[in-house]
Amino acid sequence: MLTYALLGFLRYAPMTGYDLKQIMDLSTSNFWHAKQSQIYTTLKKLEAKGQVQSEIEPQQGRPDRRVYSITPVGEQALTDWLDAPLEEIEPRKETLLLKLFFAAPTGKDALLGQLGVQRELHQRMLDTYRHETRQVIDQFASQMPEHQADAILWDATRRFGEMFEEMYLAWLAETMAVIEAKLDE
């Protein structure tokens, strides 16, 4: 799956594994992320499959840059993937919910404390979506005026993050109130 993220970015412009990590952290990290090491190994596999190709750009005082670009084979693979509709809901994993499910023997106050920690984290995340993420998208969009349609979709992914965090905070508030009211001890 990371393969498609890499192909997607390389369709905008050729770049290195290092660049790909930077740009993912800035843009897709809220719904897709990867470690540097995985990016390097995945690029290697993509090159073996002929979906990308690389050229060495010599540098002094630094390791040479290995610049990857997408091939026609890679473009086809990306398009095929984009065209195939997702026919299923992906199963999620939410560690907090798993803990909560089994948390009855935990004390009421300890439980409220744990949910309070999450409330802080999600509040901060919401602010990030509303300000920083928005700014990053505006900046990309103004740098590439030919990609106006893209910017609309980028903002749709940002809105998902914003709405998700709003929902999360509402759920936390509701859950903390229920625990306060109905749990003994």
Partner DNA sequence: CGCACCATGTAATGCGTTACATGATTTT
Partner DNA sequence: AAAATCATGTAACGCATTACATGGTGCG
Q: What's the token pair of residue 115? A: 């949910």
H helix or E strand, kind and range, residue 109 = helix 108-128
CB nearer to a copy of itself: pick between 65 and 114: 114
Least distance (Å) from a copy of itself to the CB of residue 59?
Answer: 30
- How far is the C-alpha of 77 from the C-alpha of 83, rounded, in Å? 10
- How far is the C-alpha of 88 from the C-alpha of 141, rounded, in Å? 31
CA-angle at 29, arms to 87 and 115, nearest 5°: 90
Q: Which residues are within 8 A (CB) of 183 and not within 5 positions of it... i.e. 6 or more apart?
A: 108, 111
Judged by beta carbon distances under 5 to 8 A according to partner kind, the member of a copy of itself, DNA, none in contact with residue 131 is none
CB nearer to a copy of itself: pick between 12 and 57: 12
Q: Which 8-state DSSP code applies to residue 94?
A: -
Backbone angles phi, psi at 46, to 5 degrees: -65, -35
Residue 7 interacting with DNA (CB under 7 A): no
How many of the chain's residues bind DNA (CB under 7 A)?
27
Residue 152 interacting with a copy of itself (CB under 8 A): yes
Please report, as residue ranges, which positions from 58 to 77 form the binding site for a copy of itself (by CB under 8 A): none
CB nearer to a copy of itself: pick between 58 and 83: 83
- Angle in degrees, 0-180, between the axes of helices 2-12 and 72-83, rounded to the nearest 10: 120
Least distance (Å) from DNA to the CB of residue 35?
Answer: 4
| Site pattern 72..101 for DNA (x: CB under 7 A) | -------------------x-x--------
Among the residue ranges 60-68, 78-86, 141-149, 158-166, the one whose residues contact DNA (CB under 7 A): 60-68
CB nearer to a copy of itself: pick between 13 and 153: 153
Residue 44 interacting with DNA (CB under 7 A): yes
Answer whether 38's CB lies under 8 Å from 6's CB.
Answer: no
